[in-house]
């Protein structure tokens, strides 16, 4: 008997397809929901059933809670997978879904709420013994308070939105002379993007790496971690390339941060998949935030552990035990993911269009997660991510060589993509040496 009979996938694009694939392998029927712009999308074609939930703008379709819950009720879905982005970290959505007797494939609304507010998240983690980036004690409400806190923390300072996400609502003040501007701009951006202008402050670390720990916890008190992902290759605080394991960590550090993460998750009584994000500098880890959902970059962890994380997430949501102990999780080889977007590879302007010709690379250790096909018109309304190329090799070097030849094989014609950027990256000596940090791509590689 499958753990659920029918799962509604409240998302689109490659991640909707990823979830569909896990469901299909588990014997679970799928319901795709889609906007009018996505009527011909791959996940809609492959799902057992589909329901149109509104016009193209996300607020009218993929963020339209009444339409999605009605679609689940009408089709008799017994669970909803929210995917990533959209409603995946919306506590109210999780609560409404459960109030309708439908299982939300994710953590409890309380945990989504607590971790969605980064101030509460940092406070919670501090109480659980996890070191955080030094910063203000909670929200900063006035410029006077911001000045006083900044003197205490030390410049440069980063003003961050409590409700932030996707790298938005974050402004740097190099010194006291631009603190007011950073504070007001972060507040304004936060209010516009998240409808919540609460901001807090952190020391702006100069050359850290972004290291995140994947965890899973069940309803029965078991918690495990799946090691780290290094997501330091970023543009505008958004990940571009990720790798696992990190070329910067040694076994002792990996063990130490993994254990810390597991202890914190157990202390919270958390259930589901989750990711603790840290900045790592000079051998120290500083917590910045927790994501209470599946991550875009989860396939690199799947590649080095051989574990299907989406399947695990669905099993946990059904109430099943993890069926895994820490000693069952071992790491084999090296994996790298390139996020390929429908953007100009030089200016990064989104350039949606029709895919005229499409050919994916293959062979040992090569995985492409994408909802593209020849003839598919990439709609202009959504995120520009169109494909994830995930490559696994026995060693980092083998992985890099395989990635290079896979990028050379990849054909996406009809619209510009960032494949040429990734080709240049995979030939760069600093990247090849694993010698990079969160500002390396923008500052040194792109030189902006």
Using rule CB under 6 A, residue 154 touches ligand ADP: no
When binding is defined by CB under 6 A, the residue of 4, 183, 204, 382 that contacts ligand ADP is 204
Mark the segment that binds ligand ADP (CB under 6 A) among 38-46, 138-146, 199-207, 402-410. Answer: 199-207
Segment interacting with ligand ADP (CB under 6 A) among 73-81, 95-103, 158-166, 388-396: 158-166
Q: Which is nearer to ligand ADP, 129 or 167 (CB)?
A: 167
166 sits near ligand ADP (criterion: CB under 6 A): yes
For residues 227-246, which are near ligand ADP according to CB under 6 A?
A: 234, 237
**Residue numbers 243-282 binding ligand ADP by CB under 6 A:** 277, 279
List 133, 310, 390, 425, residue binding ligand ADP (CB under 6 A): 133
How many residues lie near ligand ADP (CB under 6 A)?
A: 19
Closest distance to ligand ADP from the beta carbon of 55 (Å)? 27
- Which candidate, 444, 423, 232, places its Cα nearest to that of 345? 423
Exactly one of 38, 117, 202, 383 binds ligand ADP (CB under 6 A); that residue is 202
Q: Which is nearer to ligand ADP, 288 or 426 (CB)?
A: 288
* Nearer to ligand ADP (CB atom), residue 166 or residue 375: 166
Cβ distance to ligand ADP smaller for residue 30 or 291? 291
* Catalytic (active site) residue 293: yes
Report the distance separating Cα 365 and Cα 352, nearest Å: 29
**Could you say whether residue 164 binds ligand ADP (CB under 6 A)?**
yes
Q: How far is the CB of 166 from ligand ADP (least distance, A)?
A: 5
**Measured from the CB of residue 231, what is the shortest distance to ligand ADP in angstroms?**
7
CA distances from 287 to 115, 309, 374 (A): 12, 23, 42
Residue 149 engages ligand ADP in binding (rule: CB under 6 A): no
* By the rule CB under 6 A, 211 interacts with ligand ADP: no
Please tell me which residue in 18, 293, 339, 367 is annotated as part of the active site.
Answer: 293
Stretch that binds ligand ADP, among 43-51, 197-205, 306-314, 409-417 (CB under 6 A): 197-205
Binding segment toward ligand ADP, per CB under 6 A, in 37-45, 65-73, 160-168, 326-334:
160-168
Q: CA angle, 364 as apex, 361 and 366 as ends, to 5°?
A: 45
- Residue selected from 210, 229, 367, 422 as contacting ligand ADP according to rule CB under 6 A: 210
Site membership for ligand ADP, residue 289 (CB under 6 A): yes
**Residue 105 CA to its chain's centroid (Å):** 16
User: In the complex, which residues of this chain contact ligand ADP (CB under 6 A)?
Assistant: 133, 158, 164-167, 202-205, 208, 210, 234, 237, 277, 279, 288-289, 438
Query: Could you list the active site residues?
Result: 293
């Amino acid at each position: 008997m499958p753990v659920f009979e029918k799962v509604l996938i409240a998302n689109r694009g490659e991640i909707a397809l990823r979830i569909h694939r896990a469901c299909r392998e588990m014997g679970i029927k799928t319901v795709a929901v889609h906007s009018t712009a996505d009527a011909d999308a791959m996940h809609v074609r492959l799902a057992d059933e589909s329901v149109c939930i509104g016009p193209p703008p996300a607020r009218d379709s993929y963020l339209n809670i009444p339409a999605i819950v009605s679609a689940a009720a009408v089709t008799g879905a017994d669970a909803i997978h929210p995917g990533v982005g959209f409603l995946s970290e919306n506590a109210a959505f999780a609560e409404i879904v459960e109030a309708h007797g439908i299982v939300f494939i994710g953590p409890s609304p309380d945990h989504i709420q607590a971790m969605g507010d980064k101030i509460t998240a940092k406070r919670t983690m501090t109480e659980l013994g996890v070191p955080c980036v030094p910063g203000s004690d909670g929200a900063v409400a006035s410029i006077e308070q911001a000045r006083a806190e900044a003197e205490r923390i030390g410049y440069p300072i980063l003003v961050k939105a409590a409700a932030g996400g996707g790298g938005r609502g974050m402004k740097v003040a190099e010194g006291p002379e631009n603190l007011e501007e950073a504070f007001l701009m972060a507040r304004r951006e936060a209010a516009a993007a998240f409808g919540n202008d609460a901001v807090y402050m952190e020391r702006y670390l100069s050359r850290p790496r972004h290291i995140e720990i994947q965890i899973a916890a069940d309803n029965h008190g078991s918690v495990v971690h799946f090691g780290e992902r290094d997501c330091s290759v970023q543009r505008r605080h958004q990940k571009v390339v990720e790798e696992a394991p990190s070329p910067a960590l040694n076994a002792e550090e990996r063990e130490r941060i993994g254990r810390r993460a597991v202890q914190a998750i157990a202390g919270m009584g958390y259930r589901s998949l989750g990711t603790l994000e840290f900045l790592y500098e000079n051998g120290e880890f500083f917590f910045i935030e927790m994501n209470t959902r599946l991550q875009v970059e989860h396939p690199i962890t799947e590649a080095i552990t051989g574990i299907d994380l989406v399947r695990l997430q669905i099993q946990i949501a059904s109430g099943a035990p993890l069926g895994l102990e820490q000693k069952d999780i071992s790491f084999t080889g090296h994996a790298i993911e390139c996020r390929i977007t429908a953007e100009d590879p030089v200016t990064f302007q989104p350039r949606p269009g029709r895919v005229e010709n499409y050919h994916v690379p293959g062979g040992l250790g090569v995985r492409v997660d994408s909802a593209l096909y020849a003839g598919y018109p990439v709609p202009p309304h959504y995120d520009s991510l169109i494909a994830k190329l995930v490559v696994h090799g026995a060693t980092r070097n083998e992985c890099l060589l395989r990635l290079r030849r896979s990028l050379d094989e990849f054909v996406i014609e009809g619209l510009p993509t960032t494949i040429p950027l990734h080709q240049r990256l995979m030939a760069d000596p600093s990247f090849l040496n694993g010698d990079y940090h969160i500002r390396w791509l923008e500052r040194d590689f792109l030189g902006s």
